[in-house]
Amino acid sequence: MATITIMDPVTRIEGHMKVELTIDTINGQQQVADASCTGTLFRGFEKILEGRDPKDAPVLTQRICGVCPISHGMASVLALDQAAGSPPPDNGRLLRNLTLGSNYVQSHILHFYLLAAVDFMHGPQTHPWVPAWEVDMRPGLDAVAANLPLAIEARRRAHEMGAVFGGRMPSAHALIPGGFTGTPKQGKIAEFRQQLDWLLDFVRNTYIVDVSEVAAAYSDYFDLGIGHSNLIAFGVFEEAGGGKLFSPGYIQGGIQSPLDESTTAEITEGVTYSWYDDSTNNQTPSSGETVPQYPKGEAYSWLKAPRLGGLPFEAGPLARMQVNGDYSGGVSVMDRHAARAQETLKVAEAMNGWLDELDPAGPVFGGYDDPVSGSGIGLTEAPRGALGHWVEIQEGKLSHYQVITPTCWNASPRDDQQTPGPLEQALIGTPITDAQQPIEALRVIHSFDPCLSCAVHVMEPHGKPIVIREAGLAFR
């Protein structure tokens, strides 16, 4: 008989999410028969931004996420640059890239060592790493586990590197529409390069090696968590001449296509299973509204369901690397980890080049004339995937603001065609040894580096929760 396992909270992710798994034996194999993901936090940033000075948006939106604030700042300044027709000077573009790149390095290291590694090996035998599920961990990874303190130092150094030009991390107000505020003095360039050299060594000789070790011990995970295998990237890191280090594009049914403005206009957000008013279903972000409604019918998430051409897409390092021909593997749990590690090296090496391009005497800010009215789209990538800010300005104030985060793509609920979101689909079919400790499912979830707080529960199909332990009274 099928059981429903609810993991709530799903820990070691950023933010609030819950995952519900229907576990059943099919063809003699116990596995995930169905899955649903629930975003359990709504703060209404889009509502808060309406009516404010547009220039405040890069500061305020950085607080959407404390792990990838610079990406939100970047999306916001790109949208405002476009609305005002005020692109940054070269130095401004490069300093934005260097600050964002620093955060990529810290975020990827944080994810592998602090959030995901404990799924594959025993962590330190102290709070908060214990208690943990008593599941079979494969041997031979002690050397990887021993690198945790070094990884904590590496993550901290990456943030210090970002503060050299950005002022402070995790959130840096140096990113402003029209450019950047910090200047590339020679001493600062040297300070930045010193941290970068140390980190390049760590990424090459520790991080990538450790991911290979885990991949070797868990090579069966190259066949798990495959999902729809539709990949999308908005592209990130503006280069001289208008290109990007990672170009935008999408892969669907094994076919790669470019992602231009007209394709982007086909992105819609479904709310059939989201706690928002149905009148806002399948709107485009540039016109879509955020009207919360709780409770609502069969809705189960505060996340909306973004779709391109009506289809769900997976975003993240694997999508960026495959779209740009930098990663040739497949789509799976271990491919996501491997692509993330290899991407860290690609970004860090590119940062070396951007440092060389800086002109210590050149301007960082090119001026910015507040538009009385206008609109702009800022498409970029957070470390965990495609991110977009859609901005409209009327009478000098923000009249409309919509954000699509990478986790909206990845952890989205079903749409009105009943198609599961990418993470939901990736979970379906995952073999489960112990329905009460579904570590295999947790490995799938963490491979996406979700940016919200999740949860997994146990219920009968279409039915009530099974009590798999004494129901407590203390926290009802």
Partner 1 sequence: MQVDRRSFLNYCIRSAAGLGLSASLVEKLEQAYAQDGTGLPTVLWLACANCTGCTVSLANRISPEAPTDVADLLINHISLAYHPNLMGATGDLAVETLKSASVSPYILAVEGGVPTAFNGHTCMLWTDGGREVTAMEAVQELAPGALAILSVGTCSSFGGIPSGAPNPTGIASISQLTGLETINIAGCPTHPDWIVWTIAQLLAGSYPTLMGDGRPTGLFGGEDREVHERCPREDSPRAQEFGCEDMCLRDIGCKGPQTQADCPTRKWNNGTNWCIGANSNCIACTEAGFPDSFSPLYYPPAFVVSRPLSITKAEWAGEDRELDAEGYGTVLAVVELRDADSGAVLGSATVSREGRWRIENESLSAPPSRVIAESGTEIAERDVSQDGESVGMEVTKAEWKAEAAELRVEGKTIPDRNVQVKNAGTGLTLGSVSSDGEGKWVFAATNPDPVPTRVRAECEGYAAERDVENAPQEVPVFVEITTAQYQLDTSKLTVDGNGSAGRTVVVMNASTGGTLASQTIGQDGSWAIQVSNPDPVPISVRAECEEAFAERSVEQVGTPLSEVSISKAEYRSRKDELKVDGKGTPGSTVTIRDAIGSKVYGIANIDRRGRWRFVKKRPSPVPSRVRADCGNAVAERDVTSR
Write out the binding residues for partner 1, residues 162-181 only, by CB under 8 A: 162-174, 176-181
Compute the least distance from the CB of residue 71 to partner 1, in Å.
Answer: 13
Which residue's CB is nearer to partner 1, number 190 or number 265? Answer: 190
Indicate whether 36 belongs to the interface with partner 1 (CB under 8 A): no
CA-to-CA separations, 355 to 175, 350, 476, in angstroms, rounded: 17, 9, 54
User: Would you give the binding string for partner 1 spanning residues 421-450, x where CB under 8 A is met?
Assistant: ---------------x-----x--------
Indicate whether 143 belongs to the interface with partner 1 (CB under 8 A): no
Q: Which of 362, 372, 381 is nearest to 179 (CA)?
A: 362
Indicate whether 193 belongs to the interface with partner 1 (CB under 8 A): no
Indicate whether 65 belongs to the interface with partner 1 (CB under 8 A): yes
Which residue's CB is nearer to partner 1, number 22 or number 342? Answer: 22
Indicate whether 472 belongs to the interface with partner 1 (CB under 8 A): yes
Write out the binding residues for partner 1, residues 253-282 only, by CB under 8 A: 277
Q: Which residues pair with 18 in a beta bridge?
A: 38
Which one of 30, 34, 45, 193 is in contact with partner 1 (CB under 8 A)? 45
* DSSP codes of every residue in 165-224: HHSSSSS-TTEETTEESS---HHHHHHHHHHHHHHHHHIIIIIHHHHHHHHHHTGGGGSS
Stretch that binds partner 1, among 111-119, 214-222, 318-326, 426-434 (CB under 8 A): 111-119
Q: Which of 67, 17, 116, 132 is nearest to 447 (CA)?
A: 116
Tokens of 437: 């400790």
How many chain residues touch partner 1 (CB under 8 A)?
113
Which one of 34, 55, 283, 375 is in contact with partner 1 (CB under 8 A)? 55
Indicate whether 63 belongs to the interface with partner 1 (CB under 8 A): yes
CA-to-CA separations, 407 to 271, 339, 413, 453, in angstroms, rounded: 15, 18, 11, 11
Stretch that binds partner 1, among 126-134, 231-239, 336-344, 416-424 (CB under 8 A): 126-134
Indicate whether 355 belongs to the interface with partner 1 (CB under 8 A): no
Which one of 59, 189, 311, 355 is in contact with partner 1 (CB under 8 A)? 59
Which one of 135, 140, 143, 185 is in contact with partner 1 (CB under 8 A)? 185
Which one of 87, 263, 365, 434 is in contact with partner 1 (CB under 8 A)? 365
Which residue's CB is nearer to partner 1, number 243 or number 396? Answer: 396
Which residue's CB is nearer to partner 1, number 29 or number 133? Answer: 133
Q: Which of 35, 110, 9 is nearest to 412 (CA)?
A: 35
Which one of 149, 187, 297, 309 is in contact with partner 1 (CB under 8 A)? 149
Pairing of strands 179-180, 231-233: unpaired
Compute the least distance from the CB of residue 206 to partner 1, in Å.
Answer: 16
Compute the least distance from the CB of residue 174 to partner 1, in Å.
Answer: 5
Which residue's CB is nearer to partner 1, number 179 or number 227? Answer: 179
CA 284/CA 262 separation, integer angstroms:
12
Cβ contacts of 74 within 8 Å, gap of 6 or more = 96, 100, 175, 236, 378, 380
Q: Could you tell me how many residues make up the chain?
A: 476
Residues 272 and 415 sit within 8 Å (Cβ to Cβ): yes
Compute the least distance from the CB of residue 60 to partner 1, in Å.
Answer: 6
CA 215/CA 110 separation, integer angstroms:
18
Cβ contacts of 292 within 8 Å, gap of 6 or more = 42, 44, 275, 276, 277
Which residue's CB is nearer to partner 1, number 263 or number 375? Answer: 375
